[in-house]
Amino acid sequence: MRDNLADLAARLRGEGLSVRENADGAALTTFRTGGPVGLLVDAADREEMLLALRMTAGTGAPRRILGNGSNVLFGGGGFPGIVIRALPGEAELVRDEDGFGILGAFAGTLLSRTANLAMEKGFAGMEALSGIPGSVGGAVYMNAGAYGRTVADVLLESLSFDGENTVWIPAGEHRFGYRESIYKEEPERTVLYARFRLEPGDPAEIRRRMQEYALRRRTSQPLEFPSAGSVFKRPAGYFAGKLIEDAGLKGFRIGGAEVSPKHAGFIVNAGGATPEDVFRLIRAVQKRVYEKDGVRLEPEVELLGDFLCEEELPWNS
């Protein structure tokens, strides 16, 4: 496979794309740990994204689309395939005939950038999402949300590539659910671009709400450490952080990975954590919570590649 990827890398470079072989996986995620990625292809806009997707199709190598890497962990053994990374890029906002703001952004554009643009232009709706450290594409992919608001509340449509054609998908056809969407159900689809419909508002009030959300994050979340945000999905009828805290796991460490003493729903890289430290800690938390409360915590973080350890799920052992 290595020779095939080297040939592919040469072809991609020949088309003007930015390519790196054996890229540092730690630099690609907000966890700041991870093994090497076989081939990293960077795409700066829709055209480069489409070119990369088409040229890397049918290789037989595993392939993953990445934005800011805020919900991903690569194993220490590396990811032997292809990662196409959408870089922070274009965003624009126009007023439609009804007075609403239509904010369009490339998949790699950070949510914080879209929220700031909306604030500057006097349009509301992105405030609660402004502190999510992810990209537009990733946010649509997983219906990201915070403080009672999700992407589903503001999305107008997304531009999708299904491996053959590009098509605009209206918001109502995204099959949105809790951290779910058509993109998760149909992994052959890729988000290229998204448009959001926002209400007009007072820029000063929008700024005030954004500052309020930012303060709430700073006081309740361990933003001073690398992490992937909330590690586990919210189980029906429970809050993951409360279950973990009640299990006595705040501050529990394996190597350099730690259940945050500030917010038990976060696992942080407290210094020198390996991917296996994080992986083992995830499994340890799942085991303890399951044994105490009978609740199966499901990771929200995607675990990719080869993890150099084997930790059984408590309900499979």
What are residue 103's DSSP bridge partners?
93, 196
Catalytic site includes residue 317:
no
Exposed, middle or buried: residue 128 (CB in 10 Å: 0-12, 13-18, 19+)? buried
Is 60 exceeded by the pLDDT of residue 76?
A: yes
Catalytic site includes residue 300:
yes
Helix (H) or strand (E) holding 266: strand 266-269
* pLDDT score recorded for residue 316: 74
Q: What is the pLDDT of residues 77-113, one digit of tens each?
A: 999 999 999 999 889 999 999 999 999 999 999 999 9
Residue 37 contacts residue 83 (beta carbons within 8 Å): yes
Q: How far is CA 66 from the centre of its chain?
A: 8
Mean pLDDT on 4-19: 95
Is 90 exceeded by the pLDDT of residue 167?
A: yes
* pLDDT score recorded for residue 1: 61
Other CB atoms within a 10 A radius of the CB of residue 261 amount to 14
Collapsing DSSP to helix, strand or coil, 63 comes out as: strand
Q: What is the pLDDT of residues 120-144, one digit of tens each?
A: 999 999 999 999 999 999 999 999 9
For the record, the structure tokens of 112 come out as: 């914080």
Exposed, middle or buried: residue 262 (CB in 10 Å: 0-12, 13-18, 19+)? middle
* pLDDT score recorded for residue 313: 85
Is 90 exceeded by the pLDDT of residue 150?
A: yes
Is 80 exceeded by the pLDDT of residue 189?
A: yes
* pLDDT score recorded for residue 312: 81
Domains by residue range for the chain, with CATH: 2-86 (3.30.43.10), 91-219 (3.30.465.10), 222-304 (3.90.78.10)
Q: What is the pLDDT of residues 54-65, one digit of tens each?
A: 999 989 999 999
> What is d(CA 228, CA 238) in angstroms, rounded to the nearest whole number?
20
Q: How far is CA 108 from the centre of its chain?
A: 11
List the catalytic residue out of 230, 258, 280, 288. Answer: 230
* pLDDT score recorded for residue 57: 94
Catalytic site includes residue 179:
yes
Residue 91 contacts residue 117 (beta carbons within 8 Å): yes
Q: Phi, psi at residue 135, to the nearest 5°?
A: -100, 165
Task: List the helix and strand counts (H, then E) for the chain.
Answer: 8, 18
Residue in the structure block whose two tokens are 């350099």: 256
> What is d(CA 265, CA 245) in angstroms, rounded to the nearest whole number?
8
Radius of gyration of the chain (CA): 20
What Cα–Cα distance (Å) separates residue 1 from each residue in 8, 80, 274, 293? 10, 8, 26, 45
What amino acid is encoded at 285 in this protein? V
Q: What is the pLDDT of residues 26-61, one digit of tens each?
A: 999 999 999 999 999 999 999 999 999 999 998 999
Residue 69 contacts residue 9 (beta carbons within 8 Å): no
Is 60 exceeded by the pLDDT of residue 317?
A: no
What secondary structure letter does DSSP report for 301? Answer: S
Mean pLDDT on 131-158: 96
Mean pLDDT on 287-303: 96
Is 90 exceeded by the pLDDT of residue 194?
A: yes
Return the closest-CA partner of residue 209 out of 314, 126, 286. Answer: 126
List the catalytic residue out of 46, 63, 113, 179. Answer: 179
Q: Judging by DSSP bridges, how do beta strands 253-254 and 166-170 pair with one another?
A: unpaired
List the catalytic residue out of 21, 300, 302, 311. Answer: 300
